[in-house]
Amino acid sequence: MGWGSIYKRRVKVFTVALIIYLDYKALQKREKWFSKPKRSALWEMAHERNAKRVLNLIIELEGLWVKLGQYLSTRADVLPEPYITLLKQLQDSLPPRPLQEVCHTIEKELGKSTSDLFSRFVETPLATASIAQVHRACLKDGKEVVVKVQHEGIKAIILEDLKNAKAIVDWIAWAEPQYNFNPMIDEWCKEAPKELDFNLEAENTRTVFENLGCKRGHNFPISSNHVDVLIPEVIQSTEKVLILEYMDGVRLNDYDALEALGVDKQNLVETITRAYAHQIYVDGFFNGDPHPGNFLVSKEPPFRPVLLDFGLTKLISNSMKRALAKMFLASAEGDHVALLSAFAEMGLRLRLDIPEQAMEITNIFFRTSTPATEAIENMKSLAKERTEKMKVIQEKMKTEKKKSKTLNPVDAFPGDAVIFTRVLNLLRGLSAMLNVRIAYLDIMRPFAETTLLGTPGIGSEMNRPWIFETPALSDVEVKLRKLLHEFGSNKILGIQVCAYKDGKVVIDTAAGVLGRYDPRPVQHDSLFPMFSATKGVTAGMLHWLVDNGKLKLDESVANIWPEFGTNGKESTKVHHILNHTSGLQHAMGEVMRGDPLVMCDWNESLKRMTMASPETEPGSEQFYHYLSFGWLCGGIVEKASGRSFQEVLEEAFVHPLNIEGEFYIGIPPGVESRLATLTLDTDDLETFAGRIGQANTVSALPVLFNTLNIRRAIIPAANGHFSARALARFYATLVSGGSIPPPHSPREPPLGSHPHIPKFPSQETKIKTKRSSKNKNTAKTNNDKKHSNEDLPSGSINHNNKFYNGNGTSSDGNTKIFKSPSIRDAFMGVGDYEGLVLPNGKFGLGFRRFGSGCFGHSGMGGSTGFCDVKHGFAMAVTLNKMSLGGVTRKVVQLVCSELGVPLPVDFAETGETGPDMQPTIRTY
């Protein structure tokens, strides 16, 4: 192709593109002057004339533009009807190339004439496509074949078309930044030239043939994910000629023939979808060009689909295959964390923290397909949704990025995902074309699960060790790991166990995987949702404020928090809150039956605490405050300190204990890749439901607490996200009366090595405090001068006038976070504090009493943290498969037995299971 032809081709493309663009822009300016019916008519006429322009240009230029037209013709779910009607013509054969040209290419490539190679060669082609022409023939041995012959000079045309397409996309992205299709065109430029080598196509065809088990008959083992499709056998190939087995069939767009045969179109498209799900999720090798022209339907029952043309076939890595599977399953489960993790693994980077919008867009991507009869309404609905989402994104970019030149929220889009999205769009187009509804989440799910969970006969990609490989720190850790092996994946999904004895770490083990659909191994810095084990930390914050003179245990809550002193709560004391005797055990409990997301609103939750009325006289009876405990304590923390809940948590425990990045109540953006995902022990589900008759409610808990908006909320009674080693270090500090233990064991990454710079939308910049005049001296305002981190020793942290080094020691040499010598008695409500708790109650002042000198707090499903004062022992267990606590019980029993520590009563075989282990909706 000479330079003159190249120039003319380029001018034609850009001229038509500019005309169409200006036509639509002009109509956008004019439409406001017309009535709604008239506007609709004007848009319909614009679509018709521009569709004709596109079709005429494609027919004239052929080449790559035919492929683009074929793709667009399948998008009845999003494109206006005039485009679909006209561009469907491209699914039929284009004008054939001269027979002389075809025969010349065959002889040049195979070294023989058509008469020498074939006993019969049909001169009229079966089809003429953008790159090649297909003729039916018969080999000398009588075998029926088709011969695919590449057009002369097509390579130069395709490469030129790619350049022009790239230039147009660049121009559109400049003129309309929200329509940036560069990632797609870049991947297409990389992959499309591969279609020009028929040797590669032949190898691709053989590979997919083997992967899908496309053998004749059924006298062979069939896996549960087998798909019943046909693929022609490869006979011979060169770079420009491909000879394949002839397969007699009906084209997908031949509706009359399909009806005459009685083909079940629903089953047909479902089978094609299953075939692509197998290629993508099981094989990681899939045809990237499933347009209608690349399928036939066999004429004999059961009317199996015939898959053709494997020129544009994509090979993806195992890691990308797993990431795509995780993205799909995250969408199916509504798991924001898994979705963001999948994005990170596949290399898709977002400019903004928009998890909700990302999930919504992904759900639309995998939504059930829309028949063509609903295409117009569907297109309007999608356009409306897109406008709303862009408003949200635009607003976020204004507030978070100050000023942005583009509204595109995607910073990097992986090339592998481009072909994947194209395949799904083409499959969606097939269902629209055949007017059937396909539930992709149902059909593709088993194949995605195969990738992450493994299926016998297919094989799992995940062959990692069950225990995260680190040297054992003690003999008891060796025995613990043996026990975890015995439990196996049947009872354990992911788990961490950490224990301190006399200030020394003796166990620090991580095992299993982060989630049912997240096969990455649990590591020492993984973050687990803890449910009510969070309450121990929240209670510790109140004790820290008392120890620092910010409030008193026998002080009226209304004196600290004036708004609280209403509706019969005037006599409520701080110790009533800690001892679960305030009578507010059901305050805000209705949120779980109404709108659970109210829990995410910190200020609204505190407001509801101030409006609640006690059910019993404060101090008279002890009832477990399953949710209200956290907000009651949280309100006191903020009002007494004059600072946000998060700031107090960081100063009291996070920084001095050097547990940065592994100790959160409400996670910040940026830690999603380390989060474990909750699931239920299915064996225990019936027991859960049998005890309380709420199977649906219990099943919904993991779904609710796996959502990112819940995880990011400050819910101090139920929403801690800790590693076991961070929580164990917390209790190791409490068991010693506040003395900070020596640096943690040398695991990778080291404890405290993660940055801890959370940003919480619910926290206020300044907390106002109002206290009576007699107690003004107990409160400090938050007006202290802030020090910067400049000129500090390397590795130091400056936090609110206190400098902590990497060992958790402050700059003044203080290695204690509590000053009171009787602080442990305060935790348990004994000794001088006995009068502040209900006699013989199960709770001390914020902590569950596990026996003499033993206290802590467990969470629903099995997580726990506790310590034994007399024996200098502290322990934490985190897990993500929620059960009745059987795994935790066995783990605690083994460790205590080996270390000679008395078994806490709640973990004895005959011991009473504490309220946190009870499977009720009131035990977070």
What residues are annotated to the active site?
Answer: 289
Helix (H) or strand (E) segment spanning residue 432: helix 415-433
- Minimal CA–CA distance to 91: which of 55, 50, 45? 55
Cα–chain-centroid distance for residue 571? 47
And the tokens for 385?
Answer: 């949704």
**Separation of alpha carbons 392 and 411, rounded Å:** 17
- CA 824 to CA 737: how far, in whole Å? 6
HEC string of 193-242 equals HHHHCHHHHHHHHHHHHHHCCCCCCCCCCCCCCCCCCECCCEEEECCCEE
> Which residues does residue 147 pair with via DSSP β-bridges, in sequence order?
135, 243
Helix axes 182-191, 415-433, angle to 10 degrees: 100
Q: CA 445, 448, 454 angle in degrees (round to 5)? A: 120
The CB-side HSE value for 36 (13 A sphere, CA atoms) comes to 0
DSSP-based three-state secondary structure for 450: helix
Task: Tell me if residue 784 falls in helix, strand or coil.
Answer: coil
Please state whether 189 falls in left (phi above 0), alpha (psi between -120 and 50) or beta.
alpha
The beta-carbon contacts of 474-477 under 8 Å, at least 24 apart in sequence, are 474/506, 474/507, 475/898, 476/506, 476/507, 476/894, 476/895, 476/898, 476/899, 477/506, 477/507, 477/508, 477/509
Q: How far, in Å, are 20, 627, 733, 827 from residue 854 at the CA level?
A: 77, 24, 14, 10
Do strands 132-139 and 313-315 pair parallel, antiparallel, or not at all (unpaired)?
Answer: unpaired
- Give me the phi and psi of 7, to 5 degrees please: -65, -45
Q: Quote the CA–CA distance of 313 and 721 in Å, as a whole number.
A: 43
Reported as half-sphere exposure (CB side, CA atoms, 13 A), residue 50 has a value of: 21
Q: CA 129, CA 312: separation in Å to the nearest integer?
A: 14
How far apart CA 655 and CA 810 sit, in angstroms, is 9
Number of Cβ atoms within 10 Å of the Cβ of 20: 17
Tokens of 175: 């003129």
- Take residue 307 and report the two structure tokens written for it: 């898959």
C-alpha separations of 388 from 216, 382, 385, 596 in Å: 51, 10, 5, 24
Q: Are 486 and 363 in contact (CB under 8 A)?
A: no
From 885, 879, 878, select the one nearest 499 (Cα to Cα).
878
Q: Which stretches within 674-828 are classed as H helix? A: 682-692, 695-706, 708-712, 724-735, 823-828
Nearest to 258 by CA among 294, 309, 305, 217: 305
CA distances in angstroms from 503 to 169, 536, 648, listed in the order given: 63, 20, 25
Within 8 A by CB and 6+ apart from 232, the residues are 146, 205, 244, 245, 246, 247, 306, 308
Structure tokens at 137: 């023939």
Q: 822: Cβ–Cβ under 8 A, 6 or more apart, which residues?
A: 831, 832, 833
Q: In the 3-class helix/strand/coil scheme, how is 692-713 assigned residue by residue? A: HCCHHHHHHHHHHHHCHHHHHC
Report in angstroms the alpha-carbon separations of 794 from 89, 568, 723: 70, 53, 25
CA distance 311 to 234: 13
